[in-house]
Chain A
């Protein structure tokens, strides 16, 4: 992994989140971010050089002030030519570097994993596409990827313009209604990373994060095989009651749980909810207490979100939470 740049260079962006590398464009973990990082380094070097030269020129001009000297035409011309050549050269260098980086970002990849991410206000639907339709997987708000394999992410949205930005892996790419964009990433380092929406999309734009996990090949295959399974049957009595309640009440109107009759697609797929680390697109960490609080009043944590406040008795809330926490 590249050594991290000092934080203060990063223009004062969220210091803590940036520095630990999970969401830092300055800590690339994939080929595309690596290419962008190199361009960034080059631009930084050139800008620092130019800055220093300008300061030196300013210092020299200040030193010379007040003294009257005959204008040396030839020296002036030479200086001007040198200046123009230097400027033209650096601009050309940056242009070429930018072009090369762009080509690298859009280079064709062989045998990519196909993923489709559909953004809605304010969550991510992640579908793993496959030539064999029975191996197609739908999940939400988390993206697991195998290391060292290129991934071709199709980007779509159901409502307004969003933008997907996983800084450690690649640059931003918009998700535009009626349009299909593509983002290619090739992760190179195993680890947990964070992406987020990068185009203002409404009230909860700030709470629309994507939990990204890059795994080794075997770990990814195991995760994938597990996620393909329908939801486990509930074990405890409370969870059983919770499942019945889920299917009969407002929950099943919006959410799907594989293997049951709940087939809603306007909200995140909950088939393996308890295997995730975060809740509500990264707004909350996932544990039993927070899940119950979220279900009781989603508007408290994400005011304006489309999940309504469903009136539930305390016992009903317990049962539904029991059921959902069993969906490993």
Chain B
């Protein structure tokens, strides 16, 4: 009698837990689901007069915390030869992306802008060559390279040569340089 009571409750608990595991995150394949204006991040830390409050964008937050978008960004990172100039985050003829130094800002909105607009001294402008969603996915992955990602959204393993630690093992380095308009979710 006692064991049947216990096992029934255990079974119910397990079923509830399993159900909670469903719909962990939603993945939209067509367009970003979040309505609202595209963010226009500032490049400079200077503002005349009192600084305005920095606002995070919902679009950025959505991509930054979505495991599928981050790993898709990792795939695009190699497909579009980002690793040719930036290696696996350590840099080569392009600067390192896994440290805290960001000339043009390290928030996801600023990285997204840098990718689409291009930057002086060699960063090509990808607008028109990448879709907006692809640029967000790349920006989310690049944020993860410096550990700025939730542990449950980043992969815990590395493929191939495993040249870097996985993003979950890299200490979070809040970006320095550019306007620090971050705010894409709680730090892990």
Contact = CB atoms under 8 A, between A and B. Distances in A.
* Chain A–chain B contact at Cβ < 8 A: yes
Interface of A: 248-250, 253-254, 266, 297, 299-300, 303-306, 308-311
B131 A304 contact: no
Given A253-B80, A266-B79, A308-B134, A303 B29 contact: yes
A300 B30 CA distance: 8
A307 to B, nearest CB: 10
Contacts of A249: 128-129
B133 interface: yes
A309 B131 contact: yes
Contact of B30 (A250, A253, A306, A309): A309
A253 B129 CA distance: 7
B29 A299 contact: yes
Interface residues of B, number: 13
Contacts of B131: 250, 308-311
A300 to B, nearest CB: 8
Nearest to B133: A308
B130 A253 contact: yes
A304 B29 contact: yes
A253 B134 CA distance: 12
22 contacts: A248-B128, A249-B128, A249-B129, A250-B129, A250-B130, A250-B131, A253-B79, A253-B129, A253-B130, A254-B79, A266-B79, A297-B30, A299-B30, A300-B30, A304-B29, A305-B29, A306-B75, A308-B131, A308-B134, A309-B31, A309-B133, A310-B131
Given A299-B30, A304-B29, A309-B30, A250 B128 contact: yes
Nearest to A253: B129
B68 to A, nearest CB: 9
Contacts of B27: 304
Nearest to B79: A266
A305 B75 CA distance: 13
A305 to B, nearest CB: 8
Interface in B102-121: none
B15 to A, nearest CB: 25
A309 B79 CA distance: 17
Contacts of A308: 131, 133-134
Nearest to A311: B131
A-B CB proximity, top 9 nearest:
A299-B29, A308-B131, A266-B79, A299-B30, A303-B29, A304-B29, A250-B129, A253-B129, A309-B30
B176 to A, nearest CB: 32
Contacts of A303: 29
Contacts of B133: 308-309
Nearest to A121: B75
Interface in B19-65: 27, 29-31
Contacts of A306: 75
A303 B31 CA distance: 12
A305 B27 CA distance: 12
Contacts of A309: 30-31, 131, 133
B129 to A, nearest CB: 5
Given A250-B129, A254-B79, A299-B29, 6 more contacts: A250-B128, A304-B27, A304-B29, A308-B131, A308-B133, A310-B131
Interface string B77-88: 001100000000
